[in-house]
Structure 1
């Protein structure tokens, strides 16, 4: 096995970095790679162990034991494609289709399962695949493995849950900002106003929802917030309304709630809504 200290950083287009190498058996091992790229296979590769038509025993049981944690509940590590390179790692398509239902990274950040498919028959679960490749059925490492698949309805549910959570978080941030700006808490009235603005931002595609690739419309987040402030005040306060809107926009963007980050270079009509 290579010395991990000699491969702590891999020169790569993606910025991939080897963070661990664990020995398995017969010269095989499991390499853990940190990659900001998020690349994935769209269908199982030629050697994919998730394929039922792949030769059983091509990889020793030890490596299946080491990788079992990728299918544990709320796991953050993913099962990598055996056909990808160390300096350009990709998430395995078989894993996405049969083992990622409860993986936290996949649930929160994707990819969109609609982009992944398999023309080959796949094992129904990690447990089934591991047992077929020599891991004992009663091996403790398999006990926490979650078996359910990530189907299209499941992904839609995940995105809906993430959307609701993001809108709720935006609503709390907006309400806190309103209370601080007003110097008083008017209870349910402020809660309703905050929910209204959060809903508008979400409907316009301005909220950063994990797993959802939104494309905001022509109306900017700043313009929506400014219009909301004018409605609440019952009057257009001119530059004061614009400044307050920008403060709230930055507050939301700094909390990673808005799409596009903190800066939003636009020109806004000071006198209109």
Structure 2
């Protein structure tokens, strides 16, 4: 084996593994949000011990994650106290992209190789994170576009119907921007999937990740979607019923 030029090799190595660094960083930022850490230290700094106790995390493992985030200049660590940096705080408005692309499609990216074969089917995704993240992202594209279209209408709509609404979160969020408009939503009914067979997934597998996501406590920042058969905000149903009753009274 020929002698390696250390300087040239190290320079090339740094450039070659930069995508790995970004992969690790994106994953760490996702967990900063997902594990409840960001929300806890957003208002005020907290000691690592208090943070671990409040969130039910192992203190040593939490310390390791926070140390990495400190190296990336997202948090500060001083005398056992952690706080967000300016760079860390700037991530808040981009949170939805981490929810959808890392939480929702992270397992998809890692499974690409397993699904290149003929007849191998498609790679799975975490539909909850995809839905929540997509709804968050829509505030910056779909919401403004929908509002612009509605503002250009000569007659303002009385009811907005979202067909193929998924978990209905887009419509619920949209309702907050248009309180005078009734809402209705519908999603195709799907048969309930049979429970997965009891097994012990290998550590780090996509199956293990989905099992962990399913077992999350109700305190998780991810909101679970309603039944897939149909979703509709209560105010929508109330307003629609009231209008029908009013129309019926006026014609009788």
Q: Relative to total residues, which structure has the larger helix share, 1 or 2?
A: 2
TM-score of the superposed pair, with normalisation by structure 1: 0.23
TM-score of the superposed pair, with normalisation by structure 2: 0.25
